[in-house]
């Protein structure tokens, strides 16, 4: 009996080993069969974007690319967020950078160029002709007039309210008219909570997005505020403004009314997306890629729609300030096959071979206005509505990044230790009732952030940069219309 | 003449003796050599992987250092002063002690009760029950933390569903929603995870009890409770101390569980010192790591826990000796 | 008499329910790994999938059972979430650590248990002292050391970091065991002409099988479940992650895929539970030994 169980254990482990081995083997034979007359070249791509994950749209397109170019083999590696950052730094420090990188938001063009990690694209192919001219922005994807990267997703991006039409119907509400203002959100949330069993009116991922979601509410009142609480008109952080206070108070009001999903304090953004997709709450906020996530990563969510973020009173509206360009892939300086890598980048920046499919199949808006305007490219109602809202409410904010001094100061600011108690913590503290004087903490945090920025500016100036607070202050920017110098 | 021969004879004898001892010490030297050779790997690893990290951690504590390259910016006692002045450190410190305290006072007696039940000859399937109690011990703590997040969820979590269905509570509890409840949850999971091993300790202890004393007590008319209070408990005191010692050391160093279960939240309510240190060393949100500061915090915490460990250790040695 | 029997029966019943509740999280994990995500979000406590009927358990209905059980979760965890890689890493890591630890502790324990030599007390004292010296944050110098050896980005570095410390308990177990072996055995082998090394390997080590088994199982479970060292040492190397760390990063990246999470957890649990059940006796002996000794 004993011996038998031992044998069973050994067999089990062997079995799992074989299974694991099988996978490796199959991938190695694949590599072997790709041999052709031409010399095979391997291009490594390291991506931080879910689109390039095993089985997703970008990944599929790359398989297609390999079929068309049998001499080029592309190895795609995906890592998420901090994992990407850490791995990238390790690779960089040991001079093993892949040929093409798609970094997270933590690596800006200045760092990448200064460290000698990346090289301009325009030396290798006609990158400039592939996009509308406005998407190339100095300090974002261009430096000293040279193009280093390009946008994959439309620069006009922003956040929305999502709502489940079927849950509204079940609660006796009209799904054609979702809540437009805070009072309606509260009222309808109450209805859903009362009438639909086990479902709550509202959910919010407090664990990692308390600040971002609350600021969305505050920004309907103060359009010059950005997603981190920096006011471009005033040129300083404004986290203790009455508008932020009002937004937090409204969140507390919803909580006290019992309409916020009780798991909210422990929800991260990803948990929240899962919870929302599985219809545990009727209303919630999210950004535009949620349409894609709902469709491809959460198994096809049905009966939901999008609307603008509710406002306090008539006349308010959430305007979202963006930079007219974004960045995506970079070609590394150390690549040994720039020609083949450029070939791949041409494929990834092709309207026909990539962007149309991205919009139709992967439900992400491309950086081409003509594609966005073409009705035939929409396979999702939600995406169409979203594109309309973005068209109406996204404005171009001042691009301080183009000013080297301001850019350097902001970069230094990011490397300095952040205040211990961050906006997220304060909102959670207020929400769970453990921080009675949260308004005082807001002021403390705001002062600390402004002091930190001042110090960063001083440090940048000490490095010889010509920079002051004025370079981050834009009195003419009203947040509701594009900024013109 | 005579004397001469005697001398040479003596010389001979002494030569013989010398040779003998030389041979013996040669043998001994040879076996010393083997001893040291056998010990060499352990000694090398001890010096490099045990001693050096301890010394290094003290050395680095005096630097302001982000972990890149070798530290150069010496700051003296500044890191220690900052640790001692930091209210977040003391919060984590308090939490660590609260966690340890509750873990010890809950686990030590209850695991004894279960051990007594398992040790009873009237129980069928003791081995089966013992295995079930033990299973959580062999599970990976980090994975337990992740699973427990679901068990302790407000909506649809196991804890709430079972307590509701047994009518112990009327409304679901938001286990992870507030600092105190979250700490309670961490304690519950900590108890669950380490319980089995303490049961085994107690069982080992119970098996050392001499049976004849109980026979004698029975003849003297002592009932079960009297037997337990007057015989079992006094005999088990050495085990009580050892088990308390292990449990305390284990609880002071809890990291995996809080990292994966609550990550110190909400609002630092379950932040414990090992997690606090880790954040400074490896997870500086945006800013650069502060290795020197992390080391200083580790030393301060190490000193504090050492006091308790030493007291318990002394007790262990004292009672350990009395036993034999 | 009858009442007593009834009480005894009731007691067993209650105790059984209690112990089953005790291992419920495990059962839940396995059952969740076969459900859809939707089912998990709505009423995750239920053990069986919504469409499950008892009649499915009849052999003739196994086809239906197969349809409602989501084995797909396992393939997502195994292939897409990289658990195959984590699994191999964990096996390599665990076995390497266990072999190093057993070798080290057996050699040390043998010499300390059977021979007198200058410096013995110093060594013994140094080993035991490590239990009581308050360390600062030792992972930082350890990290430096491994990098200085050029092993910072390899499985070897990870193994050394885990195995390199001083394993006081095992050394004491080996020491105590070897010191109890009668002198005659050794003398007999010396008369046969066996030297120091041969005596150890042919006579002593085979005798120490129970201690080796105990060390094996204790360290196996320890390394399999190790989290902190692999977490720190694979921060820059996702491809070296072990199951515990891999699971953690999986949840950070994909926490909406609860079903695949449960499948991953099951993959991590099963081997260690099987190993534990096989070696249970040695495990219990080892733990009991540590408290008695």
Answer whether residue A31 shows pLDDT above 60: no
With respect to residue B66, please indicate whether it lies within any of the assigned structural domains.
Answer: no
For residue B302, give the nearest of C139, C222, C147 by alpha carbon. Answer: C139
Check A280 against B285: CB less than 8 A apart.
no
Residue A454 has a CB neighbour count (10 Å cut-off) of: 15
Q: Are residues B212 and B145 in the same domain?
A: yes
Count interface pairs A-B at CB distance under 8 A. 57
pLDDT at residue A8, rounded to an integer = 52
Alpha helices in B228-290 (DSSP H): 233-252, 256-261, 273-282
Of C29, C138, C280, which has the smallest distance from its Cβ to B54's Cβ?
A: C138
Rounded to a whole number of angstroms, the distance from the CA of B125 to the nearest CA of chain A is 18
**Which of B101, B94, B61 has the alpha carbon at shortest distance from B298?**
B61
CA distance C82 to A27: 14
How far apart CA A206 and CA A208 sit, in angstroms, is: 6
Query: Tokens 């952040």 — which residue?
Result: A418
Which pLDDT score is estimated for B29? 66
Position A136 scores a pLDDT of 93
Token pair of C275 as six digits: 């190993």
Q: Do the strands A159-164 and A281-287 form a parallel or antiparallel pair, or are they unpaired?
A: antiparallel
Domain A156-322+390-485: state its class. Answer: alpha beta
- Overall average pLDDT of the A225-248 stretch: 94
What is the mean pLDDT of the segment spanning A79-91? Answer: 77
Q: Say if residue C16's pLDDT is above 60.
A: yes
Q: What are A353-368's pLDDT values in tens digits?
A: 999 999 998 899 999 9
User: Which own/partner pairs from C192-201 qualify as long-range (CB within 8 Å, at least 24 positions apart)?
Assistant: C196/B30, C196/B31, C196/B34, C197/B34, C200/B38, C200/C110
Q: Tell me the DSSP string of A297-309.
A: ISS---SEEEEPP
Please count the structural domains in chain B: 2
Q: How many CB atoms lie within 10 A of CB B324?
A: 4
Specify the CATH number for the domain of residue B181: 1.10.3720.10
Is residue A145 predicted with pLDDT exceeding 80? yes
Q: Say yes or no to pLDDT of C88 above 70.
A: yes
With CB atoms and an 8 Å threshold, state whether A87 touches C258: no
Under 8 Å between Cβ of A326 and A151: yes
Q: Determine the pLDDT at residue A65.
A: 95
- Same-domain check for residues B149 and B207: yes
| Gap from C268 CA to chain A (nearest CA, Å) | 11
Q: List the single residue in B54, B140, B243 with the smallest CB-CB distance to C268.
A: B140
Q: Is residue B72 part of a domain?
A: no
For C42, the closest of A79, A83, A278 (CB atoms) is A278
Sequence ranges of chain A with CATH classification 3.40.190.10: 37-154+325-379, 156-322+390-485
Q: Specify the range with the lowest mean pLDDT, choosing from A35-39, A153-157, B48-52, B217-221.
A: A35-39
Q: Residues of C with CB below 8 A from A6's CB?
A: 278
Eight-class DSSP state of A355: I
- Top residue of C253, C263, C270 to mutate, by most chain A CBs within 10 Å, is C253
pLDDT band at B161 (very low <50, low <70, confident <90, very high): confident
State the Cα–Cα distance between residues B145 and B158, nearest whole angstrom.
14
> From CA C259, how far away is CA C41, in angstroms rounded?
10
Residue B286, pLDDT score: 58
Do B238 and B322 meet the contact criterion of CB atoms below 8 Å apart?
Answer: yes
Chains with at least 3 CB pairs less than 8 angstroms from chain C: A, B
Q: Which of A414, A418, A432 sits opposite B266 (nearest CB)?
A: A432
Measure C48 CA to nearest chain B CA, in Å.
Answer: 14
B69, part of any domain = no
Contact state of A13 with C271 under an 8 Å Cβ cutoff:
yes
Cβ contact A416–B149 (<8 Å): no
C284 touches chain A (CB under 8 A): no
Rounded average pLDDT over C47-58:
70
Listed residues B33, B60, B87: the one ending a domain: B60
- Report how far apart, in Å, the C-alpha atoms of B64 and of each of A320, B74, B121, B278, C4 are: 41, 6, 62, 16, 71
The pLDDT-based confidence of A28 (bands split at 50, 70, 90) is very low
The residue with tokens 């010059």 is: A224
Among chain B residues, CA nearest to C115: B35
User: Can you read off the two tokens belonging to residue C118?
Assistant: 């200058």
In terms of domains, do B242 and B314 share one?
yes
Q: Are A335 and A341 in contact (CB under 8 A)?
A: yes
Q: A97-120: per-residue pLDDT in tens?
A: 899 999 988 888 888 898 899 999
Contact B53 C135 (CB under 8 A): yes
The average pLDDT across C124-139 equals 77
Q: Which of these ranges, A22-26, A35-39, A200-204, B289-293, has the smallest mean pLDDT? A: A22-26
Give A40's DSSP letter.
P
Lowest mean pLDDT among A18-22, A258-262, B30-34, C101-105: A18-22
In a domain, B65, yes or no: no
Over residues C192-210, mean pLDDT: 83
Closest of B69, B54, B62 to residue B288, by C-alpha: B69
pLDDT given at position A151: 94
- Residue B7, pLDDT above cutoff 60: no
Work out the mean pLDDT of chain B and round it to a whole number: 83
Q: Where in chain C is the domain with CATH 1.10.3720.10?
A: 84-292
Chains that touch A (3 or more CB pairs under 8 A): B, C
For B298, the closest of C20, C137, C164 (CB atoms) is C137
CB contact under 8 A, A435 and B267: yes
Residue B5 banded pLDDT, cuts 50, 70, 90: very low
A50 falls in which pLDDT band (50, 70, 90)? confident
CB contact (8 A) between residue A274 and residue C80: no
C78/A81 CB distance under 8 A: no
pLDDT above 80 (res B24)? no
Region A262-269: mean pLDDT is 86
Between A212-216, B7-11, C280-284, the lowest mean confidence (pLDDT) is in B7-11
Q: Is the pLDDT of residue A1 over 60?
A: no
Contacts of A80 in chain C (CB under 8 A): 249, 252-253
* pLDDT at residue number A218: 95
What pLDDT, on a 0 to 100 scale, did the predictor assign at position A450?
Answer: 96
pLDDT at C280: 84
As assigned by CATH, the class of the C84-292 domain is mainly alpha
For residues C291 and A311, the model is more confident at A311
Q: Quote the CA–CA distance of B145 and B156 in Å, as a whole number.
A: 17
In whole angstroms, give the CA distance from residue C136 to residue B55.
Answer: 8
More confident residue, B57 or B319: B57
C48 CA: distance to closest CA in chain A (Å): 19
Average pLDDT over every residue of C27-44? 78
Mean pLDDT calculated for residue range C218-239: 85
Please, where are the H alpha helices in A337-479? 338-348, 356-360, 369-373, 381-393, 404-415, 423-431, 438-462
- Identify the DSSP state of A151: -
Contact (CB<8Å) C84/A6: no
Residue B303 has pLDDT above 70, yes or no: yes
Q: What's the pLDDT at A35?
A: 44
pLDDT above 60 for B83: yes
Alpha carbons B101 and B252: distance in angstroms, whole number: 10
Asked whether residue B26 falls in the same domain as residue B161, the answer is no
Mutation for A interface: B181, B266, B287, most A CBs within 10 A: B266
Q: Does residue B4 surpass a pLDDT of 50?
A: no
B252 pLDDT more than 70: yes
Any idea which of A239-253, A258-272, C60-74, C253-267 has the lowest mean pLDDT?
Answer: C60-74
Topology classification of domain A37-154+325-379: D-Maltodextrin-Binding Protein; domain 2 (3.40.190)
Distance CA C191, CA C194 (A): 7
C265 vs C30: CA distance, rounded Å: 8
Question: Does the distance separating the beta carbons of C88 and A277 come in below 8 Å?
Answer: no
Q: How many CB atoms lie within 10 A of CB A134?
A: 12
Instruction: Report yes or no: A396 and A137 within 8 Å, Cβ to Cβ.
Output: no
Q: What is the pLDDT of residue B27?
A: 58
DSSP string, C188-201: HHHHTT--HHHIII
Mean pLDDT of chain A: 87
Are residues B31 and B109 part of one domain? no
What is the residue range of B46's domain? 2-60
pLDDT band for position A32 (cuts 50, 70, 90) = very low
């Amino acid at each position: 009996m004993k011996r038998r169980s031992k044998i069973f254990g050994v067999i089990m482990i062997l079995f799992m080993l074989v299974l694991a081995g099988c996978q490796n083997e199959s991938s190695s034979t694949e590599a072997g069969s790709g041999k052709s007359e031409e010399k095979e070249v391997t291009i490594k791509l390291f991506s931080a974007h879910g689109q390039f994950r095993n089985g997703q749209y970008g990944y599929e397109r790359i398989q297609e690319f390999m079929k068309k170019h049998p001499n080029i083999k592309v190895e795609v590696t995906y890592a998420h967020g901090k994992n990407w950052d850490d791995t990238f730094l390790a690779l960089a420090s040991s001079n093993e950078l892949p040929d093409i990188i798609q970094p997270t938001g933590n690596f800006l063009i200045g760092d990448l160029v200064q460290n000698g990690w990346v090289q301009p694209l325009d030396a290798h192919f006609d990158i400039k002709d592939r996009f509308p001219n406005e998407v190339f922005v100095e300090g974002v994807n261009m430096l000293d007039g040279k193009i280093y990267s390009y946008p994959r997703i439309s620069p006009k991006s922003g956040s929305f309210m999502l709502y489940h039409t079927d849950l509204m119907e079940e609660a006796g509400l009209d799904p054609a008219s979702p809540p437009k203002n805070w009072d309606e959100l509260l009222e309808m949330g109450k209805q859903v909570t009362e009438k639909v069993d086990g479902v709550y009116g509202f959910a919010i991922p407090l664990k990692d997005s308390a600040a971002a979601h609350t600021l969305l509410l505050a920004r309907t009142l103060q359009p010059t505020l950005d997603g981190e609480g920096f006011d471009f008109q005033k040129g300083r952080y404004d986290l203790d403004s009455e508008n932020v206070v009002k937004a937090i108070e409204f969140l507390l009001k919803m909580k006290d009314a019992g309409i916020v999903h009780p798991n909210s304090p422990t929800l991260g953004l990803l948990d929240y997306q899962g919870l929302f997709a599985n219809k545990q709450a009727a209303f919630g906020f999210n950004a535009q890629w949620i349409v894609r996530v709902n469709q491809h990563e959460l198994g096809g969510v049905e009966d939901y729609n999008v609307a603008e973020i509710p406002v306090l009173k008539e006349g308010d509206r959430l305007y979202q300030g963006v930079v007219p360009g974004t960045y995506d892939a970079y070609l590394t300086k150390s690549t040994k096959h720039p020609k083949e890598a450029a070939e791949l980048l041409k494929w990834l920046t092709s309207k026909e071979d990539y962007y149309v499919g991205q919009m139709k199949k992967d439900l992400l808006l491309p950086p081409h206005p003509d594609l966005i305007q073409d009705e035939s490219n929409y396979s999702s109602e939600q995406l169409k509505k979203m594109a309309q809202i973005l068209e109406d409410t996204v404005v171009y904010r001042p691009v301080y990044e183009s000013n080297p001094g301001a850019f350097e100061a902001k970069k230094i600011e990011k490397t300095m230790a952040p205040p211990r108690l961050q906006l997220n913590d304060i909102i959670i503290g207020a929400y769970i009732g453990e921080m009675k004087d949260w308004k005082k903490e807001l002021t403390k945090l705001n002062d600390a952030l402004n002091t930190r920025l001042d110090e960063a500016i001083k440090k940048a100036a000490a490095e010889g940069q010509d920079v002051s607070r004025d370079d981050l202050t834009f009195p003419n920017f009203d947040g509701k219309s594009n900024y013109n110098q | 003449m005579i004397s001469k021969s005697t001398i040479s004879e003596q010389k001979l004898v002494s030569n013989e003796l010398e040779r003998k001892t030389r041979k013996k010490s040669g043998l001994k030297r040879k076996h010393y050599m083997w001893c040291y050779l056998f010990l060499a790997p352990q000694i090398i690893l001890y010096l490099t992987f045990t001693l050096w990290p301890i010394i290094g951690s003290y050395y680095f504590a005096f630097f302001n250092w982000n972990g890149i390259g070798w530290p150069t910016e010496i700051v003296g006692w500044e890191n220690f002063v900052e640790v001692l002045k930091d209210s977040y450190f003391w919060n984590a410190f308090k939490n660590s002690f609260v966690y340890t305290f509750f873990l010890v006072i809950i686990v030590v007696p209850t695991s004894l009760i279960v051990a007594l039940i398992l040790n009873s000859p009237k129980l069928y399937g003791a081995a089966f029950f013992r295995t079930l109690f033990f299973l959580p011990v062999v599970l990976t703590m980090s994975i337990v933390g992740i699973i427990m997040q679901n068990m302790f969820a407000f909506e649809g979590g196991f804890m709430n569903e079972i307590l509701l269905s047994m009518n112990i509570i009327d409304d679901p509890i938001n286990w992870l929603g507030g600092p105190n409840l979250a700490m309670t949850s961490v304690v519950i999971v900590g108890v669950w995870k380490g319980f089995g091993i303490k049961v085994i300790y107690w069982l080992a202890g119970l098996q050392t009890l001499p049976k004849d004393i109980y026979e004698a007590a029975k003849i003297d008319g002592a009932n079960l409770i009297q037997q337990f209070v007057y015989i079992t408990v006094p005999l088990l005191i050495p085990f009580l101390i050892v088990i308390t010692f292990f449990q305390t050391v284990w609880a002071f160093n809890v990291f995996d569980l809080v990292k994966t279960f609550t990550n110190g939240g909400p609002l630092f309510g379950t932040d414990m010192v090992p997690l606090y240190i880790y954040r400074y060393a490896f997870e500086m949100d945006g800013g650069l790591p502060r290795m020197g500061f992390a080391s200083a915090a580790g030393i301060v915490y190490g000193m504090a826990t050492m006091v308790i460990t030493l007291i318990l250790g002394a007790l262990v040695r004292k009672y350990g000796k009395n036993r034999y | 008499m009858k009442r007593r029997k009834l009480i005894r029966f009731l007691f067993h019943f209650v105790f059984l329910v209690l112990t089953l509740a005790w291992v419920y999280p495990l059962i839940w994990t396995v059952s969740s790994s076969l459900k859809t995500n939707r089912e998990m979000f709505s009423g995750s406590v239920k053990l069986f999938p919504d469409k499950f009927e008892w009649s499915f358990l009849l052999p003739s209905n196994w086809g239906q059972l197969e349809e409602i059980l989501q084995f797909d979760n396992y393939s997502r965890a195994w292939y897409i979430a990289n658990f195959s890689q984590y699994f191999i890493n964990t096996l390599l890591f665990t076995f390497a650590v266990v072999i190093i630890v057993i070798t080290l502790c057996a050699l040390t324990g043998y010499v300390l248990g059977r021979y007198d030599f200058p410096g013995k007390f110093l060594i013994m004292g140094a080993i035991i002292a490590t239990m009581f010296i308050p360390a600062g944050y030792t992972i930082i110098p350890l990290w430096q050391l491994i990098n200085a050896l050029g092993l910072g980005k390899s499985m070897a570095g990870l193994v050394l970091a885990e195995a390199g410390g001083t394993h006081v308990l095992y050394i004491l177990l080996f020491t105590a065991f070897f010191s109890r072996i009668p002198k005659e055995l050794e003398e007999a082998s010396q008369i046969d002409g066996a030297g120091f090394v041969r005596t150890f390997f042919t006579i002593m080590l085979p005798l120490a099988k129970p201690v080796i088994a105990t060390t094996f199982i204790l360290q196996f479970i320890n390394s399999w479940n190790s989290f902190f060292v692999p977490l720190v040492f694979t921060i820059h190397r996702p491809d070296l992650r072990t199951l515990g760390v891999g699971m953690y990063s999986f949840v950070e990246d994909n926490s909406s895929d609860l079903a695949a999470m449960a499948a991953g957890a099951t993959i991590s649990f099963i081997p260690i539970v099987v190993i534990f059940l096989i070696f249970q006796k040695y495990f219990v002996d080892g733990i009991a030994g540590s408290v008695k000794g």
